Amino acid sequence: MAHDELLALARATAVTAGELAHRRRIEGVEIADHKSSPVDVVTMADRETELLIRSLIADVRPDDGFLGEEGGAGRGASGLTWVVDPIDGTVNYLYGIPHWAVSIAVVEGDPDPLTWRALAGCVTNPVTGEIYTATEAGGAFSANQQLKVPDFHSLEQALVGTGFSYDSAERARQGEVVAGLLPLVRDIRRFGAASLDLCAVATGRLNGYFERGLKPWDHAAAALVAREAGAVVTGLDGAPASADFALAAAPGLADPLQRVLRELRV
């Protein structure tokens, strides 16, 4: 299947799943479980939405693998794996903050950010109706407009996004990094949904973004969107973005931002 066909499936599935999740939010949120800590919640809608996504994809591509935040991994025979976050920004979703997303990507190879090749991806915010899409070497788009990261070089004028761990000790360390970075940039934003942060870099709403601890489903689709829009997307020292570290920024900002973060021992 060509990249465009994979993207069409990702987009249609994300939109349908987003409609379900949005409807469930209006009806009322029920917490199903906790994951890494008492503040790291899973809602019934997370699970129901992921099951719908898995079903819709399997109907069309039964031989593909699937890696979802809630349902774990399942290997396929095709060499392709769908990497899915049914609701990215679950705490925002829980509180009724209209900043959460459905994220769906398809990758070639093992579902490991250090080795995979992302082929197509879609991130949608069902509340605002914004849809971000990208294919490998095919560009990134929103509302049928091709995205291009604005040229940007000034660390002092940069608006930078980040995210925090659910682990309290790790959050304390991340707070120290933010405290060190804040005087050096225009300002810092923490919106609570990594996929939308990465897409914000693609649109120019953020000049840069960094975070430790991202799971594969947090960035599989959105990192492709940012990269295809012209952002530098990287880990430390040129490694691929992963749980160890992920940074996305306008090309002229990526090196100075990463240099400062290294000095702050991110």
Domains and CATH numbers, the chain: 3-146 (3.30.540.10), 159-263 (3.40.190.80)
List the one residue out of 100, 112, 137 whose CA is nearest residue 224. Answer: 137
**Crossing angle of helices 3-27 and 44-60, rounded to 10°:** 150
Tokens of 252: 């002229």
Binding residues for Mg(2+), as ranges, are: 69, 85, 87-88, 218
User: Judging by beta carbons within 10 Å of its beta carbon (0-12, 13-18, 19+), is residue 166 exposed, middle or buried?
Assistant: middle
Look up the pTM and report it: 0.95
Residues across the chain: 266
pLDDT in tens, the chain (266 residues): 699 999 999 999 999 999 999 999 999 877 766 655 555 567 889 999 999 999 999 999 999 999 998 876 778 999 999 999 999 999 999 999 999 999 999 999 988 999 999 999 999 999 999 999 999 999 999 998 999 999 899 999 999 999 999 889 999 999 999 999 999 999 999 999 999 999 999 999 999 999 999 999 999 999 999 999 999 999 998 899 999 999 999 999 999 999 999 999 99
Binding residues, as ranges, are: 69, 85, 87-88, 218
Torsion of CA 124, 127, 128, 132, to 10 degrees: 0
